[in-house]
């Protein structure tokens, strides 16, 4: 008799099936393990390791470098900062870059021509620097011209420097600038009537704005005159010819007195001052202001003595009250000034009878004999003259004229050139004539003489 707990044939068959499944699973698991180990071994063989071999000795302390290494691995490598800038390259050759069209003018420091850019077909002004007489390398005046033009070319009323190109020799150096259609002097000579007062205000505002920009960058132009002021057909003034320009400072360094074209030269320079500042540019602007009103240069002296005479005829002989300390200037020490009251008053109102009171006041502030009391460019821009009627005309509304800088021959009236480097002239003669001619008969001791060279 068999027990009821005895396994039947079906139970034995089920137990056998379960054992076979477990064995198959163990075999599959073992096979996967062997495959993973083989793959790891193959990867290790393909990638050589630089780590030192494992040590069987137990470590007694933690290595700080082992803790830092994973952090370093996570950080990215630093990248260098790069700034976009102009690449340094050689100057272009003038003959392969530009086609010269016609001659424009010749000055003390360069010869200006009209040219065409062969790459862009733009019309430009090409100035050849005069270097034939230089024996000590590149002249400091030309270097100052390039550096000051580069520093001020962002202002809309300063001519823009494009590049510097070379010729076949080191003496052939050219400055390439924007071409501007007119210069103010030739334009004034060819006009039948002077500019309207509203147009004069516009031109004067632009000139003062550019001068204030130069002075804010510590640049002295030292040769402002109408022939160095260019005017395009959009009514924009452009200051050009920086041949005498240079940087200055505070206090101003000792400078040469032989600067500024004679008709626009300040009295302190004529009297031999070697320390001066931005005031000499403002005196030149005052002379330009008077020239715009009459179409003729305001003070046309034949030489330094005659120039002083014309200044004192128009503005009066200086005194210690109107110009403190002027007698200490080198050339003033040999002067004998008249003490008659008729020679100390200004004749600006008589010279410009149609100019408004504010206009005469601004002109007198620009032509103040004492440079310390002369108005600055920033203060001149805020003067009441520009706020009264008629208001300054929009630059776009200024009249246009046919360009004389093209192929047509230019008619030029006489105008003294800018002073050339060298020793200042020795002044000998008598400062007189004009309103001082008959003063000697009216009052004893009138008239004065200037003798130099002792």
Length of the chain: 454
Q: For strands 448-451 and 182-183, give the pairing.
A: unpaired
Element (H, E) at 212: helix 197-216
CA dihedral sign of residues 143, 148, 154, 155: negative
Angle between helices 279-294 and 197-216 (to 10 degrees): 170
DSSP secondary structure of 308-352: HHHHHHHH----TTTSTTGGGSGGGGG------GGGSS--HHHH-
The single residue listed with the structure tokens 């009537």 is 193
Element (H, E) at 115: strand 110-117
| CA–CA distance, 434 with 52 (Å, rounded to integer) | 105
The single residue listed with the structure tokens 């494009």 is 162
Half-sphere exposure at residue 253, Cβ-oriented, CA atoms within 13 angstroms: 9
Provide the 3-class DSSP secondary structure of residue 121.
coil
Query: Do 298 and 287 contact (CB within 8 A), yes or no?
Result: yes
Outline where 217-278 has alpha helix (H).
267-270
Provide the 3-class DSSP secondary structure of residue 153.
coil
Confirm whether 223 is a catalytic residue.
yes
For residue 54, what are the contacts with CB-CB under 8 A and spacing of at least 6? none
* Cα–Cα–Cα angle for 86, 88, 91, rounded to 5 degrees: 110
Query: Do 285 and 207 contact (CB within 8 A), yes or no?
Result: yes
Query: Do 298 and 291 contact (CB within 8 A), yes or no?
Result: yes
Tell the burial category of 194 from Cβ atoms under 10 Å away from its Cβ (0-12, 13-18, 19+).
middle
Strand order in the sheet with 237-239: 182-183, 229-231, 237-239
Cβ neighbours, 10 Å, residue 365: 18
Q: Which of 7, 63, 183, 223 is catalytic?
A: 223
Cβ neighbours, 10 Å, residue 312: 23
| CA–CA distance, 377 with 252 (Å, rounded to integer) | 18
Write out the catalytic residue numbers: 223
């Amino acid at each position: 008799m068999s027990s009821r707990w005895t396994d039947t044939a079906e139970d034995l068959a089920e137990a056998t099936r379960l054992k076979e499944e477990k064995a198959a699973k163990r075999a599959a698991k073992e096979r996967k393990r062997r495959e993973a180990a083989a793959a790891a071994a193959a990867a290790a063989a393909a990638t050589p390791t630089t780590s030192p071999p494992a040590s069987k000795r137990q470590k007694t302390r933690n290595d700080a470098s082992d803790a830092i290494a994973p952090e370093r691995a996570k950080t990215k490598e630093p990248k260098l900062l790069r700034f976009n800038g102009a690449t340094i390259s050689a100057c272009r050759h003038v003959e392969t870059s530009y086609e010269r069209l016609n001659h424009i003018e010749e000055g003390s420091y360069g010869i200006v021509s009209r040219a065409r850019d062969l790459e862009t077909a733009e019309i430009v002004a090409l100035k050849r620097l005069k270097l034939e007489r230089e024996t000590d390398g590149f002249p400091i005046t030309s270097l100052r011209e390039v550096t000051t033009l580069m520093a001020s070319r962002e202002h809309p009323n300063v001519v823009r420097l494009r590049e510097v190109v070379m010729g076949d020799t080191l003496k052939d150096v050219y400055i390439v600038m924007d071409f501007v259609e007119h210069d103010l002097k030739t334009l004034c000579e060819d006009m039948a009537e002077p500019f309207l007062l509203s147009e004069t205000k516009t031109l004067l505002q632009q000139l003062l704005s550019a001068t204030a920009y130069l002075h804010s960058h510590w640049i002295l132009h030292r040769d402002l005159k109408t022939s160095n002021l260019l005017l395009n057909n959009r009514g924009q003034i452009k200051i050009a010819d920086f041949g005498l320009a240079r940087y200055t400072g505070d206090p101003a360094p000792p400078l040469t007195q032989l600067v500024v074209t004679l008709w626009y030269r300040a009295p302190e320079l004529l009297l031999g001052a070697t320390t001066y500042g931005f005031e000499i540019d403002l005196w030149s602007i005052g002379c330009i202001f008077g020239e715009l009103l009459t179409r003729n240069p305001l003070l046309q002296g034949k030489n330094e003595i005659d120039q002083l005479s014309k200044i004192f005829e128009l503005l009066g002989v200086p005194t210690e009250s109107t110009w403190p300390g002027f007698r200490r200037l080198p050339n003033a020490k040999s002067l004998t000034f008249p003490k008659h009251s008729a020679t100390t008053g200004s004749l600006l109102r008589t010279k410009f009878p149609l100019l408004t009171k504010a206009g005469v006041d601004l002109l007198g502030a620009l032509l103040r004999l004492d440079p310390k009391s002369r108005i600055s460019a920033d203060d001149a821009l805020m003067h009441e003259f520009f706020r009264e009627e008629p208001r300054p005309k929009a630059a776009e509304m200024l009249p246009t004229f046919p360009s004389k800088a093209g192929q047509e021959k230019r008619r030029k009236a006489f105008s003294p050139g800018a002073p050339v480097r060298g020793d200042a002239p020795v002044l000998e003669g008598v400062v007189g004539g004009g309103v001082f001619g008959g003063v000697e008969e009216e009052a004893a001791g009138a008239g004065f003489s200037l003798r130099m060279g002792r």
